[in-house]
Amino acid sequence: MDTVRTLLETQPLFVLFLTVALGYVVGEISIKGVSLGSGAVLFVGLAIGGFAPKSAPPALLGTFGLLLFLYGIGIQYGDQFFKGLTSPDGLKANAAAALGVIVSGLVAVAFVPLFGVKLDESLGMFAGAGTSTASLQAAIAAVKSDGPAVGYSVAYPFGVAGPILFLYALSALLKPNIVRPPPPLIETAEIALRNPAFIGLNMAQLVARMPTGLAIAAVRREHRNRPAADDLVLRADDVLLATSTDPAVLHEATTLFGELQPGRMTSHREDLDYARVFASSRLVVGRMLRDIRFPEGVVCTIAHVRRGDADLMPNPDLILEYGDRVGLLLDRAQIKAVRAFFGDSIKGTAELSFISIGAGAALGLLAGAIPLSIPGIGKLALGLAAVLLVALVLGRVRRFGPFVWTMPLSANLVLRNLGLTIFLAQVGIASGPKFFATIGVTGVSFLLYGVTILLALVVVTAAVCLWIFRLPFDMTVGVLCGATGNPAILAFANRIAPTDRPDVGYAMIFPSMTIAKILFVQIAAALASG
């Protein structure tokens, strides 16, 4: 065993990748249909770190992994974050998480008079139960001692494992019927215009009056297909090629405009043909469809956009991203020019700008290092939470001048999953020795304190979300992930709730709750010293 321990302690990178491999093997073990996934990497890391205390890779490596994960989350969900933050559900989610954080903080502070726990250790347990390194840093600075690190090292593993176990139990208790919704697909209908109310209008006027979620890709008149130009004046018996991702909308459009005339358009391609191209050129990536200017002489209609596994309606405010597959209606003679205009490279599915990633991450790190002055409390810094905040803003902006901030979904998933795995492995290995050593000194009392703080956080947050605000289960688990903070919990949440809501909830809650935890620590320390 000594030989194995020596090997591990002299080869930190070997240990890192061994932890990743073993972690995913353990994570694939399914118990009643539920597995830990990448979250198991942390537990394997704790075991290896406890066995070989000097085997941990540099902490900077874990920080780098977490940065990649947070940046990827922010870039992908920036637009949804800001829309959700001001929505009724977003406000409820933040209120529920804030209540959970406050109650867990009060429980931690209550241990000081009730059980004689030192305030610095109590604040450290609060930071560890919420897996908030920024709160730990704030606590150490506020109390000017290393006591918070002791409480943090005990509570942190439970801050990761506890919510995973809680979510597992909650899912088993409630048995939510969550099915990943099928990706939206574009459907078409050829509708002969017979309604006098629309005859004589131009296409722009028709678009303003037609059902939401509907688009007109082309018009057939006098046996010729033509683009649906804004100034085209509609006549009786014009055939409209209507598209939508909702069959009910197509049915409504058919009733509204006239009657179906299938086969009148799609079987004739002598005037307008269909082509699909990859968006990989800077001329189109990061731009709204309304701002795209085709080469001179090219008449072209964007019929739909396919991103990942989903078809998107060609709304004027839709912003193209690298790797999007764009369906076009155009003259065959212009296909070559349009392909060159869009780039049409399959490499676009993995294309990303390292200049944008470097600039965006540097901007986030700079913002996280700036101390913010809070009256009556002092100065605090957001740390890596600022990287997520900046990435969310950049994900909303999408493009600024020559910088295209977005990246293809496939590249984003690879980047952030790699970062998450590296972070979990490094933190697990590094935390193993402190975890087992602290347990040996304090016994089980600190463990019980940490579990109690954690339970206050997750139980209050879940109860308020589910039974007071009546939020959906998949949104609730995302809120719990953001309130507890650790990405390993989010990885598990995506297993039991395979929709986008856990990721959106995490992104919507994590920045604000990180700030809330820091503020609570600062306020508690200031009140105690005063």
Q: What is the DSSP string of 299-358?
A: -EEEEEEEETTEEE---TTPBP-TT-EEEEEE-GGGHHHHHHHHB--GGGGG---HHHHH
Tokens encoding 252: 């409504």
At the fourth CATH level, the homologous superfamily of domain 187-349 is Regulator of K+ conductance, C-terminal domain (3.30.70.1450)
- What is the maximal distance between C-alpha atoms in the chain? 89
DSSP secondary structure string, 471-524? --HHHHHHHHHHHH--HHHHHHHHHHS-SSHHHHHHHHHHHHHHHHHHHHHHHH
| Per-state percent for the chain, helix, strand, coil, to nearest 5 | 60, 15, 25
Give the C-alpha separation, 249 to 215, whole Å: 10
Give the C-alpha separation, 300 to 281, whole Å: 17
Give the C-alpha separation, 473 to 179, whole Å: 12
Write down the domain spans for the chain: 187-349
384: helix, strand or coil? coil
**Number of C-alpha atoms within 13 angstroms, CB side, residue 423?**
24
pLDDT by residue for the chain (530 residues), tens digit each?
778 888 888 888 998 999 989 988 887 776 655 555 666 777 788 788 888 888 888 888 888 887 888 788 788 778 777 877 778 888 999 999 999 999 999 999 999 999 888 898 899 899 888 887 667 766 776 777 766 767 777 787 778 788 988 998 999 899 888 777 777 788 889 999 999 999 999 998 998 898 888 999 889 888 888 888 888 999 999 999 999 988 899 999 999 998 888 776 767 777 788 889 988 888 888 888 988 988 888 888 888 898 877 788 888 888 888 888 899 988 888 889 999 999 888 766 566 678 788 888 899 889 888 887 766 656 666 777 788 789 989 988 887 877 778 887 778 888 888 887 887 788 778 877 876 776 676 667 888 898 999 999 999 999 999 999 999 999 999 999 989 977 778 878 888 888 888 888 887 887 778 778 877 987 888 787 75
301 beta partners: 329
Give the C-alpha separation, 93 to 465, whole Å: 7
Tokens encoding 6: 């020596």
Give the C-alpha separation, 481 to 458, whole Å: 9
Give the C-alpha separation, 191 to 236, whole Å: 11
Q: Are strands 224-227 and 215-221 parallel, antiparallel or unpaired?
A: antiparallel
